[in-house]
Structure 1
């Protein structure tokens, strides 16, 4: 069962990275993403795929993750889940509010703004911690984990100045996902007691 979860999670992580590249290319092609249902759906799907993606990547290296890796995984899962819920409102509620001419479409209010900021901070912080934990575990390719962390930091610093900068993060995510999905299944371990019984 865990082998299936690793493969599905690895594929989800890789697909999430591909969707980040699609967003970046789309942004370059049209001169910046405008807020709309299609653009928001791509972003929401990319974030939602991180939930099974993080689970699969964790399972692929759980034996080497230690406590820091477990905490990093929990924060990354929490951040990805909360962020996908927050992003889902862009696809479902925001277009309807805009069509109805609601003032909430432009001014989301203080509480919604705080929730959004907490979601983004937990999401990015969790992915930074998870990338660091993946590097420390050394099971999946360390350069891929470095790309995830470096790409996120570059995105935070340069997103408004360097078009397509998040492709660095996406490349690391795709690499980690493919590496996890292609890992051979672990050999079953035989305990000394069961060997005596046979």
Structure 2
């Protein structure tokens, strides 16, 4: 009887330990994804060319928008881990920010993919159509009406601003991840409309603070989980050793 009980206790402890290690590993990798997404966002913000037809066929345009597409997927993984780490402390505000901010990147990914796969071909074969597609991002009316696509892109702006603001505030209040990084995320997203006041070649640089904040939060999550996983497993209590001996 004692032997069966001891075996059940040991197996239960092993399963619980494995689950903790698995969860820690998943959240740690999510932190790494957030770091990558943030770094990519900084690079995209610095090297993004003006949204004009002559930029579309350049190698720089293709590289930047390929990174932007990958960034969207890394971001979705990263913010999921950031939210999971503080789900209780972030509350409904964190949930709302997580959902809105994530939806923004879900909608953004197909556009960035089209910009480096389809748009260069259009620029060569159908320049008028390409200029109309670029007009979606510059809010300029072209000869081609993209209707629903234009509306979807317009929707990304409030999702980005409101989602980032709420998630940043919730993270700041949760006091688990760096509060300065959380504040930078919230402020950076709110400052997004400032891009419209800048020259076209400098508009994307408004994204840099948000990229820095995301990479910072991701590093904090990744390093935190690495430290926890590397902690030694505590030895069994004397009472448990006595029970095992029996």
What TM-score bracket applies, with the shorter chain setting the length?
A: 0.7 to 0.9
| Paired position in structure 1 for 2:75 | 50
| Paired position in structure 1 for 2:157 | 120
User: 1:86, CA displacement in angstroms?
Assistant: 2.5
Using the size of structure 1 for normalisation, the TM-score is: 0.80
State the number of aligned residues: 187
| Paired position in structure 2 for 1:67 | 92
Structure 1, unaligned stretches of length 5 or more?
188-194
1:18 aligns with 2:59: no
CA distance in 2, matches of 1:160, 1:4: 43
CA distance in 2, matches of 1:26, 1:141: 28
Report the CA distance shift for 1:13/1:122 in structure 2 as closer, same or farther (over 3 A).
same
Structure 2, unaligned stretches of length 5 or more?
1-21, 134-145, 232-239
The 4+ residue runs of structure 1 with deviation greater than 4 A are: none
Q: Does the CA-based 8 Å contact 2:160-2:189 persist in structure 1? A: no
CA distance in 1, matches of 2:111, 2:42: 21
| Paired position in structure 2 for 1:150 | 187
| Paired position in structure 2 for 1:6 | 27
1:110 aligns with 2:147: yes
Backbone CA RMSD of aligned residues = 2.7
Using the size of structure 2 for normalisation, the TM-score is: 0.66
Largest Rg, 1 or 2: 2
| Paired position in structure 2 for 1:87 | 112
CA distance in 1, matches of 2:206, 2:100: 24
| Paired position in structure 2 for 1:192 | none
